[in-house]
Structure 1
Amino acid sequence: MKKKVRFILLCSTLVGLLLAPLAQVEAAPPGIHTNAVGASLIDVESGRILYSQKGDTPMRIASLTKIMTAIIAIEQGNLNDKVKVSKNAFGKEGSSIYLKLGEEMRLHDMLYGLMLRSGNDAATAIAEHIGGSIDGFVYLMNEKAKMLGMDHSHFTNPSGLDEGEGHRSSPNDMAKLTAYALKNSVFQDIVSTKLKKVPNPNEAWDYSWLNKNKMLSLFEGADGVKTGYTKLAKRCLVSSATKDGHQLAVVTLNDPDDWGDHARLLQYGFTYYPLQTIVRKGDAVEGTTDVVSRNFSYPLAEGEAALVKRKVTLADPATTSYRLGERGTLQISLKDAIIGTIPLYEKTSPLLQSASQSTFSFQQGEAYKETLLSHYGYVFRVLVRELFMISESEWAD
């Protein structure tokens, strides 16, 4: 009898061991197929890559390049500046908004022509205005790529035309860039616009630009961002959508069924990686009088919430950060990978009211770099323009 009981217990244990990993597999998101050569799905809030196919392989990106062109222009330029159309910009090959030689247009308006109609003439005019020359602007593009951790990207022009060799980016790099750009309200407003009318100094009627991005009408909640095509790059697309405050972005490169693939990938992300709040601003830290300084949300697949760990590190009273009001940090990790670090303040600290709500970060140290670029952005732009500035006579030709 005892042997029979032991046998039953042994069988039960074996069944349990066999089913345990099976349950874990069933909890994981299912696989998904795309027709793209390269693809990436990213959560905009956190920067987490949710799906990747040849994610770090450099490829041609066609007019997806203009995402970089637009965000640099928005950050480094004055949106009310008048951009003059040079001989180099006038009649630029490929897609165009048909600007006239010597025409002047407000930078903010020209950015709509750049992003909605993919105007290569607009890209060239904007690049010359911001960087002083194409070379000057390309320098800014590659510096920005380095700052964002786009390690598999190199830009040689502001439009994405197949001009020479070396103009490349990867699906994951473009996803990072897109998530970063969508944090900018001006950029978000532009790429979510379906139709834009802009004053036309050459005619009695306004320019009227219809957004080429069909995802804005095909997918509920779609709110950006850019189409692209050249003979060598084939069909390229970046799209974004927001559902209940959760924003995702998709990149596909060389994809003959991009509209369909983007709809499937966006739905896949919303279904299997819902955005979950891990901590809220003001949450108390056990054993202290300190509280969390901001909300922190992260997209988690089924079962991943149990794998999230929290680690509190209190600040040394002798440090500068402590004197400035910070009382420590809350480090959040998933599967031993750090996904967020949040400053802690005393509950009554006035700094708590002004603490950032953003959870967006690509890599350690980037927030500091971004602050420096913001502070010295104007000086940086002036120096670059001086280095690469074309002469007034060349501009007038």
Structure 2
Amino acid sequence: MEDKIKIMIIIGLTVLLALSVFISLQTYGAKKSLETEAELIKAENASLSRKVEESRKENKRLQEQVEALEADLGRVSQEKEDLLRQREDIQKKYDLVLREKERIAAERLRAAPSTEAALEPVPQTQAEQNYWAAILKAKTDLELQVKNIQASNEQLRREKSTLEMDLNNLMQERKDLEEKMQYNAKMLDGMAADLVKEKNFRFELQEKLNSVKLENKGLRRQLNNLTNERMKLEKKLAQLNEEKAALERQLNEADLFLKERLSTITDAKQQMEIIRSGKADTRKESVELPPIVVRSQPESELVGLAPVALQDGPQFGRVLSLNKEHNFIIIDLGEAAGVKLGDTFQVYRGTELVATVEVIQVRKNISACDIKKELQAIRVGDTIR
């Protein structure tokens, strides 16, 4: 039973230890995976931050370009307006010159003497021709400048439209990057919370593991104590078995002793009467023991009643059997303990004197004693001194 309990305890401790190691490995692996994922997200976040910064710089550059183009457009528009005003002024001057020319031509016609003279072209001076040529040239230059300005204005508008589209795309990319950064930030917060939970769970597991280790130590101490107690009990059991074997040998000798004397029961009665009346010497070797009839006591009453023999001092023994009918007892002291015929012993129960007996027959490990004086009823197991 103890072996089964020991095996069950060892198996339970082994399973608990294996479970703790498995949970620790799972926790460590999950932690490493989360840390790796966190590092990847941090790297991606850093890359996105760089992209956002680059996008901001590009956006700023494009805004500066747009502002510069708007400034150029405003400047070109202003130049266009100036040119248009100059053109209008020139056109007004041209109209005034034409009206003046028509007026002069009309005055000349009215002043001419004949129709033919009126039909002849009015001659112009070189200064007038140069003036009108300069005006026409200026008008042509103005028209060319206006066309160039219009073409440049259209080009600037197309570039502005393109820049606005690029700016919108950059703004959209920036918005997407910001949303992605917010998502990554939320992911990092969630992962940080998960890491905190994992850390707390690992701390709890460590505490449980320490508690299990303490319980394991306690169980090991208990197991060692149980093992020691088992060894002590086994030694005690071996000692009791040896004592039991010794008592069985003593009982067997007693049985043989009783069987040998059973045949002389009739003659022993007469000799016992002579011994009691004092007419015969009890120390005489030729005197026969009275017949002994002893009922064997149960082994349970004899276990643990080991004799104590002291060669140089008083002898201590136990009462093995009692025969009330023939007034004698069997003790566990014999020739091996130095007992001789005629020796007198006292029977004690604890420290109280029970009776006085005298040895009438000796064997190797047992002796038969006649009850001389009985103060109390003798019992099996009483001490002999």
Report TM bin, short chain.
Answer: under 0.3
**Which structure features the higher share of strand residues?**
1
TM-score (norm 1): 0.20
TM-score (norm 2): 0.20
Structure possessing the higher relative contact order (Cα contacts under 8 Å, 6 or more residues apart): 1
**Which structure features the higher share of helix residues?**
2
